[in-house]
Amino acid sequence: MMGLVMAVDRYEASCGAFRAYAIPTVTGEIVRRFRDALWSVHVPRRVQELRNKVRITRSELQTSPPGEPTIAELAAPCGLDQDEGRDGMDALRSFKSLFLDAETSRTDHGDGMPLTASLGTTEAGFDTVIDHEAVKPALRALPERESEIPYMRFFQDKTQNQIASELGISQMHVFRLLTRSCSRVRRQALAEHQDAA
C-alpha cells in the first residue's frame, strides 16, 4: 500500500502508463520493507545477500542427501569462500531473535533451558583483581623499605609488632611507614584511574 501511495505521488503522465511505473515502485517498497524492517537487529546488506544465497542452496542440498550440509558444501555452489558461507549461515540463524525466557536446547532429562540461564554474571572477585592490577605499578615505584613493609603486612600476613622486631624498628615507626606507603599507592592508583577515564 505504501508503494502504491508513493507511486501515485511521484507519477507524471509523461512517464507513460501508470501500471508500468507503479509495479517497480511497489516491488521496490516491498523489497525495502523485507530488507530493513523484518530483521530483529540491523544486518548489513552484504550479509543479507549472503543469507539469501545460502538459504536457497541449503534448501536444495537438504532435499538431495538428507542431513545438514557443511559450510564448505554451502559456500561452493554459491561461489563464496567459507567465511562468507559462515556469515550467511549466521545471518540465516539470526533472522528472528529469541525471547530471553525461550528454551534453547534439551538437557539429558528432556527439559529445555531458558536462554537467561546461559547469560554470564559478574564474578564476585572481579573488582579485587582490578584493584590488584591498579596498585601493582604504584607498589613497584615505592622505595625498597617502604615496599618491604606492605609486602610483609599484606602478603605475608605479619603483624606490625612482628615486622618491627624483624626490621629492628618500633611498632609506631612501622605504622607510620605503612600509612605513608598506603597513602602514596592509593593516590597514584587513583590518579592513573582518573587519567584513564
Same domain, 30 and 58: no
Cα separation, 39 vs 48, in Å, equals 10
Angle at 189 (CA atoms; ends 183, 192), nearest 5 degrees: 140
- Whether residue 107 is contained in a domain is answered as no
Q: How many domains does the chain have?
A: 3
Do 145 and 168 lie in one domain? The reply is: yes
Q: Which pLDDT tens digit goes with each residue over 7-59?
A: 888 888 887 888 888 888 888 888 777 766 666 677 787 888 888 888 888 88
pLDDT higher for 175 or 96?
175
All three cell numbers of 31, joined, read: 523489497
Evaluate whether residue 118 is within a structural domain.
no
Q: Check which CATH number belongs to the domain holding 190 and give it.
A: 1.10.10.10
**Tens of pLDDT along 142-157?**
888 788 898 899 889 9
147 belongs to a structural domain: yes
Same domain, 24 and 59: no
The CATH number of the domain where 74 resides is what? 1.10.10
Establish if 185 belongs to a structural domain.
Answer: yes
Q: Is the domain of 131 the same as that of 191?
A: yes
Domain assignment present for 67 = yes
First to last CA, the chain: 51
Cell of 170: 618500633
Residue 162 is predicted with a pLDDT of 94
Q: State the pLDDT confidence band at 194, using cuts at 50, 70 and 90.
A: confident
138 and 189 Cβ atoms separated by less than 8 Å: yes
Residues 93 and 136 in one domain: no
Which of 52, 77, 97 marks a domain boundary? 97
- If asked whether residues 29 and 62 sit together in one domain, one would say no
On whether residue 192 sits in a domain, the answer given is yes
| 106 in any annotated domain | no
Q: Could you tell me if 60 and 34 lie in one domain?
A: no
Q: Indicate the residue type of 142.
A: L
Are residue 162 and residue 191 in the same domain, yes or no?
yes
* 114 has pLDDT over 80: no
Is 117 inside a domain boundary?
no
Residue span of the structural domain in which 133 resides: 126-196
Q: Are 91 and 51 within 8 A, CB to CB?
A: yes
